[in-house]
Structure 1
Amino acid sequence: MRASSARRADGTAAEAGEHLDDEETLPLGPRPRETPAETTRPSPGGEGRMGRALRGLSGGLTAGLLVLTVVLCGVQLWGLGRGNIGPGWTTLAGHALGSAVALFTQLRADRSHRRAPVVGYSLGALGVVLVVLVQWWWS
């Protein structure tokens, strides 16, 4: 360690050639970096209680759509293995596309910290899930 990089216990730099007592030396390792308050990101959930609830609802439905897509993929492969047609490739493709779009919008909602983007992306994910369910299950 160079003498110019030595520090006293109060954090001030030691002069070149100055001897520091053992109780004055800092522990080895990097010093924690101080971050100014302007550069710190706000905590997630700054959009309020309703925004968190909407984000949670859309996240749960998006996760359910992903599980449904994986189950449909398994049923399609199982049906092909037994000589049946299964749910069909168009059904599987529709669910996969809807799951990808819903997942993308949900990730954007989870990473936004302002009210308008969180609500917009959450409603977008809810809309995609509802369109997929209405198109392939309720029509």
Structure 2
Amino acid sequence: MKSSTLRRTLATAVALGALGTGSLVTAAPASAAMKDGRADFGEFILHYSAGLDESWTDFAWDEDYLFNDRFITPGSGYNQAVDNNAESYLNRADFTWYVYTGAVHTGNEGWLPDYYLGDFSSTFKNQVSSIYNNDAN
């Protein structure tokens, strides 16, 4: 009798523990904190190298002049200006980001849909000077 009661108690404790863990896992994500070196939900990430490799920086809002920004994580490209130095990207947002070859959203325009990642085409590789989206402002 004691062993079956003990088994039920342990099973209940395990089930409650799993529910508690599940609620932690499904908690709402923290809001994006721009340029903190974390790829948070809602952010746009620019990488110094192709293949989402080496140093990178994160953006939660538009940037008119990427020459003011630096790659902030360790690796090749660390502390280099982002302007005309990005080779790959990651869109961790549920909206489209736009990239431009000129400052203040001028020059060639490219758009990167939500949750999209990859290497820039030859038009944008090491040519991006500003970024924009309609939803992050």
- Shorter-normalised TM-score: what interval? under 0.3
Give the TM-score taking structure 2 as reference length. 0.24
Q: Which has the higher strand share?
A: 2
Give the TM-score taking structure 1 as reference length. 0.24
Q: Which has the higher helix share?
A: 1
